[in-house]
Amino acid sequence: MGGGSSRGKCRRSFLPHSLRARTTLGVTGLALIFLTAIGTGLNFLILNRVQAQIFDEAERVAVNWGASLRPDGTPPPVPRTRVDLLQLVDSRGRVVTAGAAAAGRPPLSTLRPPADDRIQTRTECSGQGECVMLAAFRVPRPETSALRPDEPLFVYAGMTRPPILADNRMQLLTAAGVLLGVALAAWVNWWAAGRNLRPVEAIREHLSHITVSDLSLRVPQPPGCNEYALLVCTVNQTLARLDEAVKLQRRFASTTSHELRTPLTGLRTRLEEAVLYPGDVDPRETVREALSITGRLETIVDDLLVLARLRAGIPVAHEPIDLGALVAQEAAAQAGGVPVHVHVDRDVYVRGNRIQLVRVLNNLLANARRHAGSVVEVTAGRADGQVVVTVTDDGDGIAPQDRERVFERFVRLDDGRRREPGGSGLGLAISRDIAQAHHGTLLIEDTPRGARFALRLPVQRETPVLADQAPDLRDLDRLPDHAEQH
């Protein structure tokens, strides 16, 4: 969980590694696209609106000024508007009369609207760079009969194009506004992302100080019920589980070392005696004792392997099993010793691994027969939606304070050590792990006399049609047959 090496392992990317920088870059890009589209649209609408207003005003002035023409050719008064350039031009391009602002100027345009479209607009630009926005109006014949009875006349009404349309001022202002908006959006996102990610950085900083040598540290819980508080809560719960798992692993390693050291020490002692005192030690007896100790070591190692596979959650094949029939079959296989009385229901099906369930039943039966006084009672049936198997002996029983402890690894009570000194102390631990792997439980329940082990497994609702439920004897041979003692 070191904090300094994680950044060095980041994959190379064109994008920045920082989430804050990435979000800011993304927001900046989106803001640029969005504000550019808005700015372009507004710029177009404003310019189009200004141009339309000028042309509308020029058309109105042209029509009114043309309607007020005097027969003697005197120009009528120029209306007080921004459309100040007014001319009356004949069909040959000669200025007949003009307003004060357009007097002495050449014709403003060569546009000649036809009779069926009397008014048109245009922007005319001269060689000097001056542009005039104007409306050309074809004056009706009755109004021009006194001035030019034989040819049409045209009124030009216009104004010099305003700066907002003449240069790029509007575009520059729009671009400046877009850039300012993008910069503001980037700064706000950078500030907000930094503020929102500050708790994540604090969590990372605290986690960087947590190592496997000390898992007792926790991340401070922030107030509230937001996502960061829930994240910290989950992290602390994970650390607590990890801490507990490491403690269990250390205790297991310590206990395993102790359990293995005892037979290894005995084996070494026997062999050293045989080497140091060859005349006083019977070689055959030494070999027999060594084989016995080696057998116990093999038993412990085999049980440890089974327990490790169960704890690792390695998947195994499951099938529908008539647990009542399996209980009766395993009880019948117990030859000699304390009798076993079996009471089982028919068609009590569960879904599980036959080899593992056989191991549980053998462990429970061997354990009960070892501690029974005269009889062992075994039942199998359904109760509350579960299949319940009970194995009850009439021995001395187990004290309430030891009923959970006997399921721990290498735990053997004094009576168990006396009855079977060579046991591994792993049988009940393996049996409970198998029950939990089948989504069930294995507990010790109250009974008037002796000890009662209750195995509960989920029932299979539909009774399957099975061709053969015989166990694979080759797999059974590979499983060590040892029961826990209490």
Interatomic CA distance for residues 391 and 376, integer angstroms: 7
Of 15 and 6, more confident: 15
Model pLDDT for residues 203-213, shown as the tens digit of each residue: 888 888 888 77
Q: How confident is the model at residue 469 (pLDDT cuts 50, 70, 90)?
A: very low
pLDDT of amino acid 180: 94
- Across the chain, mean pLDDT equals 82
**Pure H helices in 208-282:** 227-276
**In terms of residues, how long is the chain?**
486
From 73-82, 196-205, 397-406, 408-417, the region with the lowest mean pLDDT? 408-417
Burial 411-425 (b: 16+ CB within 10 A, else e): bbbeebeebbeebbb
**Which is it for strands 153-160 and 131-138: parallel, antiparallel or unpaired?**
antiparallel
pLDDT of residue 102: 85
Q: Is 456 helix (H, G, I), strand (E, B) or coil?
A: strand
Closest-CA residue to 485 (of 453, 458, 463, 454): 453
Average pLDDT over residues 426-455: 91
Hey, what are 297's tokens?
């070591």
Point out which residues pair with 441 in neighbouring strands. 456
pLDDT at 56 (0 to 100): 94
The pLDDT value recorded for residue 5 is 47
Q: Which residues contact 401 (CB under 8 A, 6 or more apart)?
A: none
Q: What pLDDT shows up at residue 419?
A: 54
6: pLDDT confidence band, cut at 50, 70 and 90? very low
Q: How far apart are CA 91 and CA 93, in angstroms?
A: 6
Q: Render pLDDT for 121-175 as a digit per residue (tens, 0 to 9).
A: 999 888 777 899 999 999 887 655 556 667 788 999 999 998 888 888 888 888 9
Sequence-distant (6+) residues with CB within 8 A of 361 are 326, 327, 330, 389
Residue 256: Cβ-neighbour burial (10 angstroms; 0-12, 13-18, 19+): middle
Which range among 115-124, 272-281, 412-421, 460-469 has the greatest average pLDDT? 115-124
pLDDT band at 247 (very low <50, low <70, confident <90, very high): confident
Cα angle value 73/74/77 (rounded, 5°): 135
Max mean pLDDT range (44-53, 240-249, 473-482): 44-53
- Tell me what the mean pLDDT of segment 337-363 comes to: 91
pLDDT of residue 148: 62
Q: Is residue 73 pLDDT above 70, yes or no? A: no
1 or 175, greater pLDDT: 175
Range in 7-11, 32-36, 344-348 with the lowest mean pLDDT: 7-11
Q: What is residue 244's predicted lDDT score, i.e. its pLDDT?
A: 82
Supply the Cα-derived Rg of the chain in whole angstroms.
50
DSSP per-residue string spanning 372-405: -SS-EEEEEEEETTEEEEEEEE-SS---GGGTTG
Determine the average pLDDT of the residues in 361-377. Answer: 90
In contact, 425 and 419? CB cutoff 8 Å: no
pLDDT-derived band at 388 (thresholds 50, 70, 90) equals: very high
DSSP string, 263-319: HHHHHHHHHHHHHH-TTTS-HHHHHHHHHHHHHHHHHHHHHHHHHHHHHHT-----E
Distance, C-alpha 471 to centroid of its chain:
43
Taking 50 as the threshold, does the pLDDT of residue 483 lie above it?
Answer: no
Single pTM value for the model: 0.51
When pLDDT is averaged across residues 265-294 and rounded to a whole number, the result is 86
Query: What local confidence, expressed as pLDDT, does residue 33 receive?
Result: 94
With contact defined as beta carbons under 8 Å apart, do 396 and 371 qualify?
A: yes
> How high is the pLDDT of residue 327?
93
